[in-house]
A and B are shown apart, each in its own frame.
Chain A
Amino acid sequence: MKATRAWLARSVPLSMSMALAAALLTLMSCTPGSEISVQESDVVATIYDPNVDFSGIDTYQMPDTINHILEEGVTDDKVSRKYDQEILDLIAANLNARGFQRIDEGSPDTPDVVVFVSATAITNWYAYSYYPGGYWGYGGWGWYYPYYPAWGVSYAYTTGTLIVDMVNVNEPDSENKTFPNYWRGVCNGVLDDVESSKVRRFTDSINQLFIQSPYLQSAGQ
């Protein structure tokens, strides 16, 4: 103990202690950041009506196209239709694996529910400028502009959202002019990515919709 104290006494003079204080304050500037990769932007959310007994649902129908939602007045569809069929097939495969039976469009049989799939995209823009302050000249008068110019930064990214709704069209709410929505699944993520990564990401996200919905199980299985 005495040897340790003597060592510390020799090693840590007051000036170094002040340096420690300054270093600690500087260290605090290295707080964790918020940068994320495109892959880390994916979010999967589900919500359901807890009063619904999903085990009593046997059949479903699903349109063979994805409804792309565009803002009013916008004609540029940022969401590609390249993977529409793959997405629909994957959703159907997950539903079938959970015991739900698909009824083709045009069939005379009435499905218990209809599964609607929609997609939309939003581009987010960010722009800001740096205007470095001037300085008083040494030994002189006036306010001087810095020798380096101001600069601006702008960037944009597009996020896409896939929405899957399980709706009972057999029991319309005439007062509110709606159909009861039993289950909604939402996948959201940044679209700016290489093609191979996009396929893996939407596959994982759609599968996750059903993984985190264990109640979504038909008694028909």
Chain B
Amino acid sequence: MKYVLTAIIILLFAANAFGQNKITAFHYNISIPDQDLKNYISDTSWLGVGFDGRWFVSPDRPITLGISLGWQVFDEETNETIVFDQGAITGQQRRYVNSFPLMVTGHYYFGDKERMWVFAGGGVGTYYIMQRFEVGVFAIEQNNWHFGFYPELGVQIPLQRDADLFVSGRYNFALAAGESIAGEAQDFNYWGINVGFAYNGW
């Protein structure tokens, strides 16, 4: 965990070293689980943070390449009985998923930069998924790297010189890999709503 935060902090300062044609964004993330992840944890995650660094490929083309980092925490408590093929188990359960996306991104910007700058694109890379299941005093955990990608659509609305309101929506595809706590591989897909601030040329 501390390595992810360290990477984020380093990138905050490194972003400054890459000239003026760049965008740096910090955002608070809300995520809604889907598919296999929803079967494990159905509650919406209100605990997420992200960083995006984007660089324009040239001054006269509204296309950026960049990176995206994030951390999203899903958790749920339940005491429902889990029924399996030859039995069942009941107890106070705590289910956790920590998702750390590390992405290379590409976006196309269009619209009026002075009023509302719209961007569309996405990222491809990897999600580090930490999955933990606790029942009573027992716990099992599985951590895996998942290849993944996300499409994204969002807007930047100017607030003051070089500072914009940043709002975007993503669908994160963290594809099945390794073994989940249930034994078989599962995907960890989720919707993401990101709200924060973007700094142009910073």
Contact = CB atoms under 8 A, between A and B. Distances in A.
Interface of A: 5, 8-9, 12-14, 17, 20-21, 24-25, 27-28, 30-32, 34, 36, 40-50, 124, 157, 159, 188-190, 208, 212-213
Contacts of A36: 92, 94, 134, 136-137
A189 B136 contact: yes
B47 interface: yes
B135 interface: yes
Contacts of B135: 43
Given A14-B163, A47-B86, A5 B73 contact: no
B192 to A, nearest CB: 15
Contacts of A42: 91-92, 136
B86 A25 contact: no
Contact of A24 (B49, B86, B96): B49
Nearest to A159: B137
Nearest to A209: B90
A216 B158 CA distance: 67
B47 A27 contact: yes
B68 to A, nearest CB: 15
B89 A24 contact: no
Interface string B33-61: 00000000000000101000000000000
Interface in B113-131: none
A214 B12 CA distance: 58
A25 B49 contact: yes
Given A9-B159, A46-B88, A213-B88, A41 B137 contact: yes
A212 B134 contact: no
Contacts of B83: 212
Interface string B128-170: 0000001111110000000000000000011110010100000
Contact of A5 (B49, B134, B139, B158): B158
Nearest to B12: A21
Contacts of B158: 5
27 contacts: A5-B159, A5-B165, A8-B159, A9-B159, A9-B163, A17-B199, A20-B197, A21-B26, A27-B47, A28-B71, A28-B73, A30-B47, A31-B73, A31-B75, A32-B73, A36-B92, A41-B136, A43-B89, A43-B135, A43-B136, A44-B90, A45-B88, A45-B90, A48-B87, A157-B137, A159-B137, A213-B88
A162 to B, nearest CB: 13
B196 interface: yes
Given A14-B163, A212-B88, A32 B75 contact: yes
Contacts of B94: 32, 34, 36
Nearest to B48: A28
Contacts of B160: 9, 12-13
A28 B137 CA distance: 25
A43 B8 contact: no
A44 B137 CA distance: 12
Contacts of A12: 159-160, 163, 197
Nearest to A36: B92
The list of the 8 closest CB pairs from A to B, nearest first, reads A47-B87, A43-B136, A43-B91, A40-B92, A212-B88, A21-B26, A9-B159, A32-B75
Contacts of A208: 90
